[in-house]
């Protein structure tokens, strides 16, 4: 990867001491002397590491990398203690806080929040921020203003660094900070780190405590049951919206009281968010309608958000401010100016001081900004502009940039863009304009477009024409915004009306692609890039940037065709499934290949398309008659080990994978081939079977994938249940709900959630495997009645009511059932339990009685080397057990330490029995060696080793090894090569115990240097015989041996040998010996250890 972020994870080029500078004029820093980072390609400065051993910061890495790219020179990083040894004209670059910066008088504490300084003082260039991001901003100030570095998009290709051989440092004394209090370009979860780093390079951040967002999303779950009067009243015949979007009845003053209570519970902070929830569902109660100006608007329009409701919300906010300022006079309220309340207050409706609004409006509606500003609101900009076009090159650069500059000049306090989705190859210039204006509000939009184009070198004119082409296109297309409708002007509205697809840019930006971005439109754009390539010949960096933009168009074209074929309304009449699938695979591969370079953020796009159910993958496209499909699929739930069968319409591979598996070829194939799934070849229209043995409890889908990679839609979920079930949580995939259920979070629930409903006929099916189960849930005053069924049989009415709120209560027990798979259904009756009035029914979890007691600490057939602590039971409360160990009573939690064979039997109250047999072996095996090897031996000896072991009363000897080689039943012939030899003999038993013995010996060679002592030249009696020998060891001749010679039958030693320079010698005097045969015994020792005795025959004449 190219990025600075990843460069920080690698080793940055350090030069710690002594830094050798090539010859350059010795220049002392007089006040008028020119100072350099680099001169004529040679580093004239160093980066000071103020604390030895510390890591390199992002700011240091950015400066070092950009200077190297500009000049080819690397600025050394030098420890502060080594500065004294540098040439006097060396410039010291100081980045961030530390002892050296403090000695120069620079500390973060001297700066205001988000402030930074860039200062030259003496031979020091100091970059100091109030925190780490501000250190980076100080460096980017220099890189921008002095070196002309531009960050067009994330990564090295997107970073433009002008080439030069000299970087002179002007006199600088800058203290500044980002002008706006809050600067946010949202990036989605899953965006790469380099994207977040690009935002920091452009000074995104905040120094405000204001909070925005839809603030009442949790109110229904908190207050809905007890206080439905807090919430919006729908028109007759309209159904209430979802809990996360439900609006309040702001005509009810009791709502004010709850808001104020929550604010006070949070400590009555200086600002409080009261922005309405998103979407439709605005209140039409009499009290709310009385707050509207103009009055008399259609209640259906009001409910759907198509009316002007600004007046009611202004009156609501004023009422809150009046009450809250009695408690804290300086409190401010935050909210969005959005949806049905986006327009400024109508005449006669005044806004109280203290409102801070995030304006959600189009970039053409200047009147809305002026109107809210004139009304006295403090304003933030909160646009949704970048949903328009989305992946396409929709770039109204002047429209968006000039509106942003207008807001900067007219009271903007900050901004929050939703969202920067990472489509840099097509919408990157739009991102760059806003990012650049954030850090450099002094620039014009034309300045910024010129900057962007200049990064393409000689191709800049062609790139400006390319951007101008797309800007003119945007002016003709006119994507929808907050103030437009389907009947408006522009190609987008016209095509939306004609073709009947969604006018919303959230979805329409995809569906319009085949109509709006035709081959002609894209061909005209590519012609500008062709011209740019010709102008940039020989400039590899510029060509890489042109290729980046070209890849953005290529991705758009591939996506256009996938949408064309995937969406029924745009699909060619003769289209085939295989054509769509080939296009889809091409798009998937191309998207993966360009994501690392940030042309698009593939993971972000995949998530967006999945969230919007866009037809860009197999599972989200409909209407195919030739699409592979599965039929006759075995329904669940079923026990693990039971087969599942399906029939495929095509030849391919059948897969069974957990429901959470991504519906991609790579994911399905990977999981299907693992222990978590199953797979098998399948022929067209012939049933195929997969074995579920060993699968864990989960919901599974079946897929078939053709050889070309087409994926049939998944089967219905198949719940596979293993034999170890103890708990089914409401969020588990195997739980199936129908009707209006919502989820509530609380630490009191098992798994921290429960699901709840009051809609009559709603039901939840909970499968389990075992003999008995209990429904566990919340009981409270708002809960009512439900019908319960077991395996389809009605088992009565159960109540969830209690006068107090109580968690994890037993609601229903199945009693004993046959061992196997069962399903419990809980169905909402819409009935209250007197004296309660609530009709809610909740499901928290199902506790399952194990098919047999669970024993932990030992397993059947287990072998243990240490004492074991054994427990048994079940997570289900209230069950009783009896247990025996080797025929005697045993309590759970007891420890068994005796060696030998053991048997533990546990029986539960349902008659289920679990028995485990196991052995404890705490003793190592007994190892015995047989050998004739002494510590010292001669090379002509025959040596052997025999080993045996026994393990009683243990687990049995598993192996005997000699020097890690398995030992058989025959003796081993030992090594008689000269030198030291060690044999390690190890016996190991099945419990893992080992016994080890070591055999060590050394081999020496005896060389007899004495002339013949027998035969024709045998020595005569009454003579002196020189006896000579030499000993050779692994390291050469041995010189420190002790040796004596004894005449056989003599009562004492005859004599002792001495070392004579290269051999041992003893002169044997045979005076007085009669002629005949004798035997001499040589007794040799080394360091006090005896060799085996050598016998020498002696014949005297």
954: pLDDT strictly greater than 90:
no
Confidence grade of residue 29 (pLDDT, cut at 50, 70, 90): very low
- Helix, strand, coil % in the chain, rounded to nearest 5: 25, 30, 45
Would you state the pLDDT for residue 33?
Answer: 60
Q: Is the bond preceding residue 510 a cis peptide, omega within 30 degrees?
A: no
How far is the C-alpha of 919 from the C-alpha of 863, rounded, in Å?
Answer: 5
Instruction: Check: CB of residue 785 under 8 Å from CB of residue 837.
Output: no
Q: Is the bond preceding residue 419 a cis peptide, omega within 30 degrees?
A: yes
3-state secondary structure 81-119: HHHHHCCCCCEEEEECCCHHHHHCCCCHHHCCCCCEEEE
Q: Picking from 186-190, 213-217, 438-442, 516-520, which range would have the lowest pLDDT averaged per residue?
A: 186-190
Token match 């029995």: residue? 913
Angle at 135 between CA 134 and CA 137, to 5 degrees: 60
- Please state at what angle helix 540-566 crosses helix 424-439, rounded to 10 degrees: 120
Q: Where are the alpha helices (DSSP H) in 937-1042?
A: none
Q: What is the number of residues in the chain?
A: 1101
**Which residue(s) pair with 1065 in the sheet?**
1028, 1058
How far is the C-alpha of 294 from the C-alpha of 32, rounded, in Å?
Answer: 70
908: pLDDT strictly greater than 70:
yes
Q: Which two tokens stand for residue 948?
A: 């045996």
How far is the C-alpha of 603 from the C-alpha of 189, rounded, in Å?
Answer: 9
Instruction: Check: CB of residue 992 under 8 Å from CB of residue 865.
Output: yes
Q: Where does the chain hold its CATH 3.30.379.10 domain(s)?
A: 4-177
**Which residue(s) pair with 785 in the sheet?**
799, 831
- The pLDDT tens digits for 495-518 are 989 988 888 887 889 999 999 999
Q: Are strands 753-757 and 159-160 parallel, antiparallel or unpaired?
A: unpaired
Q: What is the DSSP string of 951-992?
A: -SSSS-EEEEEETTEEP-SSPEEPP-SSEEEEEEEEEEETTS
Mean pLDDT computed over 621-633: 90
Q: Which two tokens stand for residue 663?
A: 């519906």
Integer-rounded Cα radius of gyration of the chain: 44
DSSP state of 645: E
Q: Which two tokens stand for residue 615?
A: 């037809």
Most confident of 327-341, 848-862, 887-901, 959-973: 327-341
Q: Are strands 355-359 and 378-381 parallel, antiparallel or unpaired?
A: parallel
Mean pLDDT computed over 524-540: 99
How far is the C-alpha of 121 from the C-alpha of 144, rounded, in Å?
Answer: 20
Q: Where does the chain hold its CATH 2.60.40.10 domain(s)?
A: 926-1003, 1009-1100
Residue 507: CB partners within 8 Å, gap ≥ 6?
A: 501, 612, 614
Is 2.60.40 the CATH number for 630-721? yes
**Which residue(s) pair with 150 in the sheet?**
160
Would you state the pLDDT for residue 25?
Answer: 30
Q: Which two tokens stand for residue 317?
A: 């906010």
Would you state the pLDDT for residue 432?
Answer: 99
Give SS3 for 731: coil
Token match 């909210």: residue? 335
Tell me what the pLDDT averaged over the chain comes to. Answer: 91
- The pLDDT tens digits for 361-412 are 999 999 999 999 999 999 999 999 999 999 999 999 999 999 999 999 999 9
537: pLDDT strictly greater than 90:
yes
Q: Where are the alpha helices (DSSP H) in 424-576?
A: 424-439, 445-454, 460-477, 491-499, 505-511, 513-516, 519-535, 540-566
DSSP state of 351: P
Q: Which two tokens stand for residue 173?
A: 């004394």
What torsion, rounded to 10 degrees, do the Cα atoms 1056, 1057, 1058, 1061 define?
A: 180
CATH number of 4-177, picked from 3.30.360.10, 3.40.50.720, 3.40.50.300, 3.30.379.10: 3.30.379.10
Q: What is the DSSP string of 396-421?
A: -HHHHHHHHHHHHHTTEEEEEES---
Closest CA to 216 of 77, 316, 78: 316
Mean pLDDT computed over 874-898: 84
Q: Which two tokens stand for residue 385?
A: 């502009």
Q: How many CA atoms lie within 13 A of 688 on its CB side?
A: 23
Beginning with the edge strand found earlier in the chain, give each strand of the sheet holding 841-843 in spatial order: 742-745, 753-757, 841-843
877: pLDDT strictly greater than 50:
yes
Mean pLDDT computed over 126-146: 98
832: pLDDT strictly greater than 70:
yes
How far is the C-alpha of 827 from the C-alpha of 791, rounded, in Å?
Answer: 13
960 to each of 174, 922, 989, how far by Cα in Å?
79, 18, 9
Give SS3 for 274: coil
Would you state the pLDDT for residue 20?
Answer: 29
For the beta carbon of residue 261, count every other beta carbon within 10 angstroms: 10
Would you state the pLDDT for residue 961?
Answer: 86
Would you state the pLDDT for residue 889?
Answer: 95
For the beta carbon of residue 746, count every other beta carbon within 10 angstroms: 13
Phi-psi region of 29 (alpha: psi -120 to 50; beta: other; left: phi over 0): beta
Q: Where does the chain hold its CATH 2.60.120.260 domain(s)?
A: 727-848
Mean pLDDT computed over 668-681: 96
How far is the C-alpha of 585 from the C-alpha of 711, rounded, in Å?
Answer: 11
Would you state the pLDDT for residue 851?
Answer: 57
Q: Are strands 271-273 and 332-337 parallel, antiparallel or unpaired?
A: parallel
Q: Which two tokens stand for residue 786?
A: 């439900």
Closest CA to 89 of 55, 123, 125: 123
Mean pLDDT computed over 104-120: 98
Q: Between these two residues, 862 and 163, which has the higher pLDDT value?
A: 163
Give SS3 for 847: strand
Would you state the pLDDT for residue 19?
Answer: 32
3-state secondary structure 572-612: CCCCCHHHHHHHHHHHHHHHHHHHCCCCCCHHHHHHHHHHC
CATH number of 727-848, picked from 3.40.50.720, 2.60.120.260, 3.30.70.100, 3.40.50.300: 2.60.120.260
Closest CA to 298 of 318, 284, 286, 312: 284
- The pLDDT tens digits for 561-608 are 999 999 999 999 999 998 998 899 899 999 999 999 999 999 999 999
Would you state the pLDDT for residue 379?
Answer: 98
Would you state the pLDDT for residue 1?
Answer: 36
Q: Are strands 727-729 and 182-185 parallel, antiparallel or unpaired?
A: unpaired
Give me the CATH code for the 926-1003 domain, please.
2.60.40.10
Phi-psi region of 122 (alpha: psi -120 to 50; beta: other; left: phi over 0): left
Instruction: Check: CB of residue 1010 under 8 Å from CB of residue 1028.
Output: yes
90-112 in b/e form (b: 16+ CB < 10 A) is bbbbbbbbbebbeeeebebeebe
Longest dimension (CA), the chain: 152
Give SS3 for 141: helix
Residue 574: CB partners within 8 Å, gap ≥ 6?
A: none
Which helix (H) or strand (E) is 799 found in, with range? strand 793-799
For the beta carbon of residue 490, count every other beta carbon within 10 angstroms: 16
Confidence grade of residue 16 (pLDDT, cut at 50, 70, 90): very low
DSSP state of 230: G
Q: Between these two residues, 961 and 349, which has the higher pLDDT value?
A: 349
User: First vs last Cα of the chain: how many Å apart?
Assistant: 95
Q: Picking from 175-184, 778-787, 871-880, which range would have the lowest pLDDT averaged per residue?
A: 871-880
Q: Between these two residues, 259 and 625, which has the higher pLDDT value?
A: 259
Instruction: Check: CB of residue 844 under 8 Å from CB of residue 750.
Output: yes
Token match 């999981």: residue? 671
Q: What pTM value is reported for the model?
A: 0.66
Would you state the pLDDT for residue 30?
Answer: 33
Token match 């160093």: residue? 46
215: pLDDT strictly greater than 90:
yes
How far is the C-alpha of 71 from the C-alpha of 59, rounded, in Å?
Answer: 18
CATH number of 854-920, picked from 1.10.3470, 2.60.40, 2.50.20, 3.40.50: 2.60.40
DSSP state of 876: S
Which helix (H) or strand (E) is 666 found in, with range? helix 665-672
Give me the CATH code for the 1009-1100 domain, please.
2.60.40.10
**Which residue(s) pair with 727 in the sheet?**
847
How far is the C-alpha of 799 from the C-alpha of 372, rounded, in Å?
Answer: 53
Q: Which two tokens stand for residue 699?
A: 């919901």
Mean pLDDT computed over 327-351: 97
DSSP state of 777: E
% of the chain at pLDDT higher than 70: 95
% of the chain at pLDDT higher than 90: 72
How far is the C-alpha of 846 from the C-alpha of 776, rounded, in Å?
Answer: 6
Q: Which two tokens stand for residue 871?
A: 């427990």
């Amino acid at each position: 990867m190219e990025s600075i972020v990843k460069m920080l994870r690698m080793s940055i080029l350090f030069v710690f001491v002594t830094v050798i500078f090539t010859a350059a004029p010795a220049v002392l820093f007089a006040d008028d002397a020119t100072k350099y980072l680099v001169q004529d390609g040679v580093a004239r400065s160093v980066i000071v590491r103020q604390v030895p051993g510390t890591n390199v910061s992002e700011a240091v890495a950015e400066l070092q990398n950009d200077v190297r790219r500009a000049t080819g020179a690397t600025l050394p990083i030098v420890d502060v203690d080594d500065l004294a040894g540098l040439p006097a004209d060396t410039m010291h670059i100081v980045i961030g806080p530390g002892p050296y910066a403090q000695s120069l008088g620079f500390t973060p504490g001297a700066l205001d929040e988000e402030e930074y300084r860039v200062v030259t003082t003496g031979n020091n260039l100091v970059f100091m921020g109030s925190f780490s991001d501000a250190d980076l901003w100080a460096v980017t100030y220099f890189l921008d203003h002095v070196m002309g570095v531009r960050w067009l998009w994330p990564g090295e290709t997107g970073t433009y660094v002008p080439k030069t051989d000299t970087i002179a440092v002007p006199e600088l004394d800058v203290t500044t900070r980002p002008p706006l209090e809050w600067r946010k370009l949202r990036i989605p979860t899953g965006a790469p780190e380099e994207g977040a780093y690009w935002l920091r390079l452009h000074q995104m951040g905040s120094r405000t405590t204001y909070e925005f967002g839809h603030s009442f999303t949790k109110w229904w779950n908190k207050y809905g049951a007890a206080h439905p009067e807090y919430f919006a009243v729908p028109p007759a015949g309209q159904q209430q919206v979802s809990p996360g979007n439900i609006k309040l009845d702001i005509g009810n003053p009791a709502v004010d009281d709850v808001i104020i209570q929550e604010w006070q519970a949070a400590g009555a902070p200086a600002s409080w968010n009261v922005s309405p929830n998103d979407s439709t569902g605005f209140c039409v109660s009499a009290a709310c309608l009385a707050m509207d100006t103009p009055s008399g608007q259609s209640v259906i329009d009001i409910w759907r958000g198509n009316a002007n409701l600004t007046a009611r919300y202004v009156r609501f906010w004023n009422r809150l401010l009046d009450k809250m300022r009695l408690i804290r006079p300086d409190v401010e309220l935050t909210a969005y100016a959005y949806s049905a309340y986006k327009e400024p207050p109508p005449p006669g409706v005044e806004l109280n001081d203290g409102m801070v609004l995030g304006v959600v409006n189009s970039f053409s509606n200047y009147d809305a900004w002026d109107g809210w500003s004139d009304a006295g609101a403090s304003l933030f900009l909160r646009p949704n502009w970048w949903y328009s076009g989305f992946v396409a090159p929709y770039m109204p650069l002047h429209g968006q940039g000039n509106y942003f500059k207008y807001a900067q000049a007219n009271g903007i306090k900050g901004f929050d863009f939703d969202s920067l989705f990472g489509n840099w190859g097509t919408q990157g210039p739009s991102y760059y304009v806003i990012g650049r204006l954030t850090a450099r509000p002094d620039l014009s939009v034309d300045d910024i477009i010129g900057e962007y184009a200049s990064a393409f070198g000689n191709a800049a004119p062609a790139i400006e024409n390319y951007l101008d082409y797309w800007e003119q296109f945007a002016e003709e297309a006119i994507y929808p915004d907050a103030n437009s409708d389907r009947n408006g002007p522009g190609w987008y509205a016209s095509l939306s009306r004609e073709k009947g697809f969604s006018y919303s840019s959230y979805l329409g930006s995809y569906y319009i692609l085949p109509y709006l971005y035709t081959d002609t439109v894209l061909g005209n754009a590519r012609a500008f890039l062709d011209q740019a390539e010709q102008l940039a010949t020989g400039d590899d960096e510029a060509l890489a940037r042109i290729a980046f933009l070209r890849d953005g168009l290529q991705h758009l074209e591939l996506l256009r065709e996938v949408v064309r074929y995937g969406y029924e309304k745009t699909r060619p009449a003769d289209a085939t499934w295989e054509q769509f699938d080939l296009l889809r695979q091409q798009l998937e591969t191309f998207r993966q290949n360009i994501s690392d370079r940030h042309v698009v953020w593939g993971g972000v796009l995949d998530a967006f398309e999945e969230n919007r159910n866009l037809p860009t993958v197999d599972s989200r496209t409909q209407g195919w008659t030739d699409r592979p499909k599965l039929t006759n699929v075995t329904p669940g739930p079923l026990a693990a080990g039971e087969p599942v069968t399906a029939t495929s319409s095509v030849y391919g591979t059948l897969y069974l994978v957990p429901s959470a598996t991504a519906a991609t070829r790579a994911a399905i194939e990977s999981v299907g081939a693992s222990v978590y799934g199953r797979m098998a070849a399948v022929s067209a229209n012939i049933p195929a079977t997969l074995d579920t043995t060993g699968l864990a409890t989960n919901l599974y889908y079946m897929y078939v994938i053709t050889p070309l990679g087409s994926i049939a839609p998944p089967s219905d979920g198949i719940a596979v249940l293993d034999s170890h079930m103890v708990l089914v949580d409401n969020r588990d995939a195997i739980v199936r709900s129908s009707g209006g259920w919502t989820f509530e979070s609380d630490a009191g629930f098992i798994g921290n959630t429960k699901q709840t409903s009051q809609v009559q006929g709603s039901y939840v099916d909970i499968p389990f495997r075992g003999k008995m189960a209990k429904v566990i849930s919340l009981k409270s005053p708002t809960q009512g009645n439900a019908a319960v069924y077991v395996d389809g049989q009605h088992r009565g009415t159960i109540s969830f009511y209690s006068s107090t709120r109580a968690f994890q209560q037993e609601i229903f027990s199945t009693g004993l059932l046959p061992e196997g798979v069962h399903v419990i259904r809980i169905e909402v009756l819409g009935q209250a339990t007197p004296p309660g009035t609530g009709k809610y029914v909740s499901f928290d979890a199902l506790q399952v009685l194990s098919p047999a007691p669970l024993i932990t600490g030992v397993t059947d057939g287990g072998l243990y080397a240490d004492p074991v602590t054994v427990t048994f039971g079940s997570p289900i409360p209230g069950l009783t057990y009896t247990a025996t160990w080797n025929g005697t009573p045993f309590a759970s939690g007891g420890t068994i330490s005796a060696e030998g064979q053991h048997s533990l039997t546990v029986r539960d109250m349902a008659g289920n029995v679990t028995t485990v047999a196991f052995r404890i072996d705490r003793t190592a095996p007994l190892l015995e060696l047989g050998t004739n090897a002494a510590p010292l031996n001669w090379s002509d000896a025959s040596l052997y080793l025999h080993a045996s072991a026994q393990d009683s009363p243990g687990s049995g000897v598993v192996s005997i090894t000699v020097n890690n080689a398995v030992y058989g039943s025959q003796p081993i012939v030992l090594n008689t090569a000269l030198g030291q030899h060690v044999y390690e003999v190890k016996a190991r038993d099945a419990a893992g115990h080992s016994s080890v013995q070591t055999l060590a010996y050394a081999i020496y060679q005896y060389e007899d240097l004495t002339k013949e002592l027998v035969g024709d030249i045998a020595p005569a009696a009454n003579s002196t015989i020189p006896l000579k020998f030499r000993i050779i060891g692994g390291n050469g001749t041995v010189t420190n041996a002790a040796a004596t010679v004894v005449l056989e039958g003599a009562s004492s030693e005859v004599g002792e040998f001495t070392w004579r320079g290269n051999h041992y010698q003893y002169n044997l005097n045979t005076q007085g010996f009669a002629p005949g045969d004798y035997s001499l015994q040589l007794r040799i020792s080394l360091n006090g250890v005896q060799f085996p005795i050598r016998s020498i025959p002696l014949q005297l004449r």
